[in-house]
Amino acid sequence: MNLSRVTLILALFVAVLLTACGSGGGVRNTVAYGQNLPAPDTSTASGLYQGGTDYRIGAQDLLEISVFGIDELNKSVRVNSNGQISLPLIGGVMAGGQTIPALEKTIAGKLAEGYLQHPEVSVFVKEFTSQRITLEGEVKKPGIYRITGKITLLQAIATGEGLTDLADTGGVVLFREVNGKRMAAAFDLSTIRSGQSPDPQVYGDDVIVVEKSGSKSALRQLLMVLPAIGLFKAL
């Protein structure tokens, strides 16, 4: 997502939330607190793999593939821009878009076609380089950054070399897509740093916007609606 789209989403988000709050609308049904923040959609490659079965492999991910009992077939391989990997004996395999169990089954099936009997294949994601986050606002180096594993909100901001002197530590908004809906949560970094609040996990495609202290921007209006307690509401 580019930064101009972030600005547009922010403006629309503020308008919708202010209207909903003023009319007693139904945004409460989409709220989650603290450590129960919803993860992003898992039907696409936006969700960061945590050992489950629903992560979709993306281009440039680094995979470690092993075949039980046959060390010669064990290999670390990076997914190319077309989603393909190349393996001993079986050659090219389409990995992009597949879940981990699906790719294991695909590789095992190809090895069973004339090479091995009942092969046991394991796939492990060593680097999630298809994952990106966006940092906007009062961070020293705004931009789009790759993430290669689990990362928290504080770690994500550190990736952009931290906050500027003008940043409002209580004015951090995280945008995420959950179940097909654009959502947002507000956080106070001072309470996270002190251990009073959990440091939430950040996922691929998340957008983090840091407000300027004392400003009267659209983001400030959003923060009036979203107290800095890790509150998600839908756009």
Record the pTM. 0.58
pLDDT in tens, 61-97: 899 999 999 999 999 999 998 999 999 999 999 999 8
Residue 235 to residue 214: CA distance in whole angstroms: 25
Local structure of residue 148 (DSSP, 8 states): -
Of 115-119, 183-187, 207-211, 213-217, the poorest mean pLDDT is in: 213-217
Q: In this predicted model, what pLDDT tens digit does every residue of 155-186 receive, in sequence order?
A: 999 999 999 999 989 888 888 887 777 788 88
Put residue 69 in one of left, alpha, beta given phi > 0 → left and psi -120 to 50 → alpha. left
Phi-psi region at 165: left, alpha or beta (left = phi > 0; alpha = psi -120 to 50):
alpha
In whole angstroms, give the CA distance from residue 70 to residue 132. 35
DSSP structural state of residue 203: -
Closest CA to 175 of 200, 147, 207: 207
Which of 173, 181, 190 has its CA nearest to residue 226?
173
Concatenate the DSSP letters of all residues of 88-127 into one string: TTTEEEE-TT-BHHHHHHHHHHHHHTTT-SS--EEEEEEE
Task: Give the β-pairing of 181-187 and 167-178.
Answer: antiparallel
